[in-house]
Structure 1
Amino acid sequence: MEVEVEKGGGDKKSNKRLSVERIYQKKSQLEHILLRPDTYIGSVEKLTQPMWVYDEEKELMITKDVTFVPGLYKIFDEILVNAADNKQRDEKMNTIKITIDKVHNQISVWNNGKGIPVVEHKEEKMYVPTMIFGHLLTSSNYNDFEKKVTGGRNGYGAKLCNIFSTKFTVETSSCEYKRSFRQSWQKNMSLTKEPTIRDSVGEDFTCVTFSPDLSKFHMEELDDDIIDIMKRRAYDIAASSKGVRVILNGKKLPVKNFRDYINLFLKDKYDENDQPLKVVYYDSNPRWQVAVTLSDKGFQQASFVNSIATTKGGRHVDVVADQIVKKLLEIVSKRDKGGIKIKPFQIKNHLWVFVNCLIENPTFDSQTKENMTLQAKSFGSKVTLSEDFMKQASKCGIVESILSWMKFKAQTQLNKKTGAAKLSKLKGIPKLDDANNAGTRNSQSCTLILTEGDSAKSLAVAGLGVIGRDKFGVFPLRGKLLNVREASHKQIMDNTEINNIVKIMGLQFKHKYNDPEDLKTLRYGKLMIMTDQDHDGSHIKGLLVNFIHHFWPNLLKYNVVEQFITPIVKVFKGKFSQAFYSIPEFEEWQKETPNFHTYKVKYYKGLGTSTANEAKEYFTDIDRHRIKFRYGGTEDDASINLAFSKKKIEERKTWLKNFMEDRKKRNELGLPELYLYGKETSRITYNDFINRELILFSEVDNLRSIPSSIDGLKPGQRKVLFTCFKRNITKEIKVAQLAGSVGEISAYHHGEASLMGTIINLAQNFVGSNNLNMLMPQGQFGTRLHGGKDAASPRYIFTYLNPLTRLIFNPLDDPLLKNLYDDNQRIEPEWYIPILPAVLVNGAEGIGTGWSTKIPNYDIREIVANLYRMIEGEEPVKMLPSYKNFKGTIDEISDNNRYLVSGEISILDDNSIEISELPIRTWTQAYKEDVLEPML
């Protein structure tokens, strides 16, 4: 570089030149290391951070804030790792001795591995120990083509310790060369004498003794903190060096292997159930030792690469953690399908990973070697954690901890969604009639009435005209509540009904309500359920009870939940009237009343049947209609779980089966049917509610959802055919009009939309629907494109009886059928008797409570042929499922009625294929969107 100097007086020129020399200087490498130590050994300033150290009193590893100088720690570590490296050169090496003398500021590290060659280097004209300990950029690790699993690499290592010491001594004995060597350096490696060489027949060893130059580290003595860290590194070496015992200050360390070392960290650690942490180990690969356990402080790791403590981890830790995370993510996703979406880093936060490995020619991001950066493909070995390891890892408490965290996270999100603060005034909740005192200091005396629909709300509001609105609020439910026990987190988050109830009540998902005082945070002290006195009303009650029990079980213990019951039947005679709250109670009254037929009977199918005057009567005598739920103990919890948990399917089967058998026996013995609500009923347990009321819905749910094996029909379908037969509908009629007729003739009490869907399904004839459609479709009744969901509005399409239907359901059988009655109205038969098994012709599918069924369609001609065989006393021939106009194939793949359904595809040329058939119920549009479009 040229520097231009301004002409002028000599003094000015001299000053200019002096400033240039001061700015641009040349230093020797030794001077540069001492001037800029942070480049080589890290900071020489004191640093305070939490670190693991060994507590000699407790005999375990603890974390504490340690103040130390990283540079001093590093030079000690370089000597220690050199000693550990010698194990890779000499398998017979079995001892490392470390002595830390605080008083004399002296540290020594001795190992009995193969000694350094005591021989003069022919090129450098000096002894090898002199060269590698006293001259910079000398090393045995410069051959990158040689694969080594040692810690040294860059040729600084021990020299740095020499440079930052006031005195540095190397002693070694080599059996191979039968010589011993001793040489000392002083004043930061600037002074030395010729080495002492003697003949030796003793054992191999190498010992490095040094006195750190404390002034370079702004220290006056080796303080307790730096000594604690050095001692911890002694334990690290004992753990990471297989087959090497470590003696620290004359005492053998109690760590024989990596497992002993891990136990030092976990001695006082317990899981959420107060059980000692379970650790899972992997050591099938000679170069890899891995362990994992549960962490409650985010991701933690303790790892070693060739005995170097990689305190910041690196790619060796990543390759292990990533495998564990991937497997746990699969397990958690299966265990909690509907939970919040969890990301890999969130899984990782529950892991505590220990890794001890040997890596060929490792690379690091700095001379301090805290983070290993070598790509996994260059490790020289591959670690593939075994299936058994993964299985055990999933059982050591990590999965449970993740699921618990997911639940907490979900509750936090739900709290944010609902707001959940105790407010005296709520906005933005349609149809809510809030109590005047809700959310105030008198909120404990308030009751929220949840009604089944708007008509029931009208009844409740009419009743409030009697008792006032200060303590009572009303909110109508839109149909049945979500079964939160089996719902996904997203479903709950997106469910307006649940969010509204939470807001209105002032509930908080994160609260457990363990103390009665917690109830003061609610906007309402009581939750009253007001539904129809039918099976669906019972189900709505059950779903609400399930909702509260799932999120806040303690609220049931504090009797927060109540119900409001209304008559299901009333009898009148003159001025006399009597209300009944269950059909069995009414039937019992009939048996006890000789002239019961002289009474006028009024059936209440829903709350909407009651008049405004009757509503006022109910609320005037509110204590009669207010039934309190009383918590009866753990049997209540068990009953609620039995009714609503998907894990209890088999138990529900037994539950229902026992109930039906018991009721059958009572009928045979002429005993009255048991009922829950009577004249004197004022409170019931949840166990009674589940086992004596909700169970009736479960029974009816099966009858509604699962087709009869006799006629292949569900009750709704049977009602449609009954209406068509009775009115002889052989000419076109609108689907919407037919639905009205069904409601009138067969006492259908549910939504018309559902009934119109039933009519449309009976008339569908595309591939995959009916083999024999009972009704004829006139208009767009749906296609294979969308699986029938593309049917036109019921107002615009027509239908009538298929002429074949009455041939199958012979009218000559009608007088023999057992018809049902509803409110003294004769309705459809219990079942029809078709001339062939209709359940096989069109198949059957349904999911009830505890039971479900799925029967495919069969060819009607094969069914008829088998019927003829059976009439002749022959065995029927086995049939395969068959769908009208289906061009694909159906093959049996096992003996338990499992079949493989295949479509048809043709390869036209290298760029074209033709799909001429899809498997049954693989709908065309969905196939295009889900399969074909992603391939384009």
Structure 2
Amino acid sequence: MAEKSTKNHYDESKIQTLSPLEHIRLRSGMYIGRLGDGSNQNDGIYILLKEIVDNSIDEFIMGNGKRIDIDIDDKGFVKCRDYGRGIPLGKIVDCVSIINTGAKYDNDVFQYSVGLNGVGTKAVNALSQHFLVRSFREEKFSEAIFSRGKIISEKKGSAPGEKDGTYFEFLPDSEIFGDWEYSFEYIEQRVWNYACLNKGLKLYFNKQKFESKRGIEDLLYSEVGDDTLYEIGYCTGDKIEFAFTHTGNYGETYFSFVNGQFTSDGGSHLSAFREGYLKGVNDFYKKSFSGVDIRDGIAGAVAVKVKDPVFESQTKNKLGNSDIRAWIVNEVKAGIVDFLHKNQEAADKLLDKIINNEKLRKELNAVKKEAKAAAKKISIKIPKLKDCKNHVQDGEKGEGSMIFLTEGDSASGSMVSCRDVYKQAIFSLRGKIQNVYGKGRAAIYKNEELFNLMMALGIENDVENLRYSKIVIATDADFDGFHIRNLLLNFFLSYFEELVVSEKIFILETPLFRVRNKKETRYCYTEKERDKALKEISHPEVTRFKGLGEISPKEFGQFIGEDIKLVPVLVKSLKSIPETLEFFMGKNTPQRRDYIMENLI
């Protein structure tokens, strides 16, 4: 009798028990999100740095240590030293290697912190090829060195003249992250945010000093600059700090934080801030203006301290605490009324802005009504939209939903048969959309294709009705594709910049080359990857994909599946947007001609 195949045999021998640090290495995405190579500010190597610096920030928040030194060399070797209380010397190994170990469960020791699950530093340890922790207390020190989560050595001794605090150094593991590199520009932005959110804290990154005198007001000013309708308003309390102004842009743009954590999707604290702002303005003017008219064009930043923050996802980008609403609304309302009483010029300009918004909204509603009537005559369904079954409004089912904006039926044809019909929608553009730079908002409602696009996204009335978690621009990697990409970005940045600021817009990366022989196939996203594949694969055949339509549906499935590569569209600051759009989308200036000639190759 033939023996049973053991390939799928399931018995006691198949059961494994991993140590916590082994689990972190095997399932790193659960702990730090995406891996990446450092080209995206949300890549894992930046999360490792954040976890270490966050511990030092928590010390400052609790009144210990006013300086943090961060150094990163050109090989990515990180050093971080704070001057807080220092980890208790007898517990440094436990604190960096045993999950759910730490002092942040004790509200007397750490009242306001983001990292309350006892995992952060352990994840850095597990995912670093070299990791060192050294704590200084009362001129004594304790040190431990690890490699990939395994302890190498321990040391204790005296440290005469050393101030209390904790020192970390680590090097992200190339086995986990591959060929990676830190972008100092991303780190400088994050360090600047730390400084603005922690007024009085001095941070030194590679000897460059970052310090904010005005707190979150500095953060908002660095985003909007001097192009505001009135001076930036600023208010602070025990557990809240916020700044606000209005610009000539459309929509609402916010930067919200909880215990120093940027919440790109806002949450209950941001909703309460918006409500408090509305109530404060109406109370001051003794009117009942609508929220849309009061807030259109607003740029605001709000930071709150919450003892037990509850986030709606593991990435901590949306706060869910409902018990904080009342006090935030009241403090914001009082702060707005106080600011307007003390700043008559700002109060006058804000009133003019609100009245103008009200007038434009009524005019726009008439245009919207005509556009909707015209759309109904064409079809009940939105033309060129292949919708998915679940959307943001469906709660957990809609998490991760996305819509691909493609150029023409050829590109979308490859996607339709291989997409996830539950979470992936496709909207086919007819080609190059209208260049809307410099046009009023009514223009986009009079353009049939742009109106259909807004209806597909659910934003024809309000961006809060966005139907998808992600908007993905999927165009060919050629000149026409890049032009369409620019036109779409121009559209979003001109009228819906809050979607860009909250990181809802992405670019789909698809391979440029396929290198294969009879035994192996590799897809390459860069010429460097292609050249490497050519060296490693014998007798290869190389295909250059000129357009998405050239990739077969069978192949395309893997590029929009679990291993999808999405690059978020990020802006360095709001004040840079008008200048950038003018340069690329405005009249054909000599400067742009010179730029094209210099970069043509």
Pair 1:222 & 2:195 matched: no
In 2 relative to 1, CA 380–98 (structure 1 residues): closer, same or farther, beyond 3 Å? farther
Contact 2:195–2:201 (8 Å) recurs in 1: yes
2:143 match: 182
Superposed displacement of residue 367, structure 1: 3.7
Cα distance in structure 1, aligned partners of 2:204 and 2:8 = 60
Q: Which runs of 5+ in 1 are unaligned?
A: 1-7, 48-65, 119-126, 272-276, 337-341, 420-507, 512-936
Pair 1:100 & 2:102 matched: no
Superposed displacement of residue 141, structure 1: 1.7
Map 1:184-199 to 2 at 5 A. Answer: 184-186=145-147, 188-199=148-159
Amino acid at match of 1:88: I
2:120 match: 157
Contact 2:35–2:177 (8 Å) recurs in 1: yes
1:31 match: 22
Match of 1:114 among 85, 90, 93: 85
Cα distance in structure 1, aligned partners of 2:175 and 2:278 = 47
Contact 1:293–1:352 (8 Å) recurs in 2: yes
Superposed displacement of residue 268, structure 1: 4.9
Contact 2:199–2:211 (8 Å) recurs in 1: no
In 2 relative to 1, CA 232–396 (structure 1 residues): closer, same or farther, beyond 3 Å? farther
Pair 1:326 & 2:263 matched: no
* SS at 2:194 equivalent: helix
1:389 match: 339
Map 1:196-207 to 2 at 5 A. Answer: 196-207=156-167
Of structures 1 and 2, the one with the larger relative CO (CA 8 A, separation 6+) is 2
Cα distance in structure 2, aligned partners of 1:174 and 1:368 = 33
Pair 1:353 & 2:300 matched: yes
Match of 1:290 among 223, 230, 242: 242
Cα distance in structure 1, aligned partners of 2:175 and 2:112 = 35
Superposed displacement of residue 71, structure 1: 2.3
Amino acid at match of 1:314: G
Superposed displacement of residue 25, structure 1: 4.5
1:560 match: none
Contact 1:350–1:402 (8 Å) recurs in 2: no
Superposed displacement of residue 160, structure 1: 1.1
Pair 1:212 & 2:179 matched: no
Q: Which runs of 5+ in 2 are unaligned?
A: 372-439, 444-601
Which deviations, in whole Å up to 9, do the C-alpha atoms of 1:13-70 show, x marking residues without a partner? 64453x56797644332232222222211122469xxxxxxxxxxxxxxxxxx73453
Amino acid at match of 2:81: W
Count of aligned pairs between the two proteins:
368
1:686 match: none
Cα distance in structure 2, aligned partners of 1:383 and 1:326 = 9
Match of 1:317 among 249, 262, 270: 270
Contact 2:70–2:81 (8 Å) recurs in 1: yes
Contact 2:231–2:245 (8 Å) recurs in 1: yes
Map 1:435-584 to 2 at 5 A. Answer: none
Which deviations, in whole Å up to 9, do the C-alpha atoms of 1:609-645 show, x marking residues without a partner? xxxxxxxxxxxxxxxxxxxxxxxxxxxxxxxxxxxxx
* SS at 1:78 equivalent: helix
* SS at 1:80 equivalent: helix
Match of 1:128 among 85, 88, 91: 91
Cα distance in structure 2, aligned partners of 1:67 and 1:144 = 34
Contact 2:268–2:320 (8 Å) recurs in 1: yes
Superposed displacement of residue 305, structure 1: 2.2
Contact 1:360–1:379 (8 Å) recurs in 2: no
Amino acid at match of 2:140: R
Amino acid at match of 2:66: N
Pair 1:77 & 2:50 matched: yes
Superposed displacement of residue 79, structure 1: 0.9
1:410 match: 362
* SS at 1:211 equivalent: strand
Contact 2:77–2:171 (8 Å) recurs in 1: yes
* SS at 2:331 equivalent: coil
2:130 match: 167
Map 1:242-253 to 2 at 5 A. Answer: 242-253=199-210
Match of 1:40 among 31, 38, 54: 31
Cα distance in structure 1, aligned partners of 2:330 and 2:369 = 44
1:743 match: none
Map 1:815-894 to 2 at 5 A. Answer: none
Superposed displacement of residue 151, structure 1: 2.9
Cα distance in structure 2, aligned partners of 1:367 and 1:415 = 42
Cα distance in structure 2, aligned partners of 1:253 and 1:328 = 34
Which deviations, in whole Å up to 9, do the C-alpha atoms of 1:592-614 show, x marking residues without a partner? xxxxxxxxxxxxxxxxxxxxxxx
2:218 match: 260
In 2 relative to 1, CA 313–46 (structure 1 residues): closer, same or farther, beyond 3 Å? farther
Contact 2:61–2:198 (8 Å) recurs in 1: no
Cα distance in structure 2, aligned partners of 1:198 and 1:171 = 12
Superposed displacement of residue 137, structure 1: 1.7
Amino acid at match of 1:294: H
Pair 1:366 & 2:278 matched: no
Amino acid at match of 1:350: G
Cα distance in structure 1, aligned partners of 2:284 and 2:293 = 14
Greater Cα radius of gyration, structure 1 or 2: 1
Which deviations, in whole Å up to 9, do the C-alpha atoms of 1:514-534 show, x marking residues without a partner? xxxxxxxxxxxxxxxxxxxxx
Q: What's the TM-score once normalised by structure 2's chain length?
A: 0.55
Superposed displacement of residue 404, structure 1: 2.5
Cα distance in structure 2, aligned partners of 1:45 and 1:105 = 14
Map 1:785-796 to 2 at 5 A. Answer: none
Pair 1:12 & 2:14 matched: no
Which deviations, in whole Å up to 9, do the C-alpha atoms of 1:413-455 show, x marking residues without a partner? 3456789xxxxxxxxxxxxxxxxxxxxxxxxxxxxxxxxxxxx
Match of 1:140 among 79, 88, 103: 103
Contact 1:181–1:197 (8 Å) recurs in 2: yes
In 2 relative to 1, CA 256–111 (structure 1 residues): closer, same or farther, beyond 3 Å? farther
Contact 1:415–1:510 (8 Å) recurs in 2: yes
Which deviations, in whole Å up to 9, do the C-alpha atoms of 1:505-546 show, x marking residues without a partner? xxx9979xxxxxxxxxxxxxxxxxxxxxxxxxxxxxxxxxxx
Amino acid at match of 1:404: N
Cα distance in structure 2, aligned partners of 1:257 and 1:75 = 28
Cα distance in structure 2, aligned partners of 1:333 and 1:380 = 22
Cα distance in structure 1, aligned partners of 2:286 and 2:231 = 22
* SS at 1:196 equivalent: strand
Cα distance in structure 2, aligned partners of 1:354 and 1:92 = 26
Cα distance in structure 2, aligned partners of 1:270 and 1:169 = 47
Superposed displacement of residue 281, structure 1: 0.9
Match of 2:193 among 216, 225, 236: 236
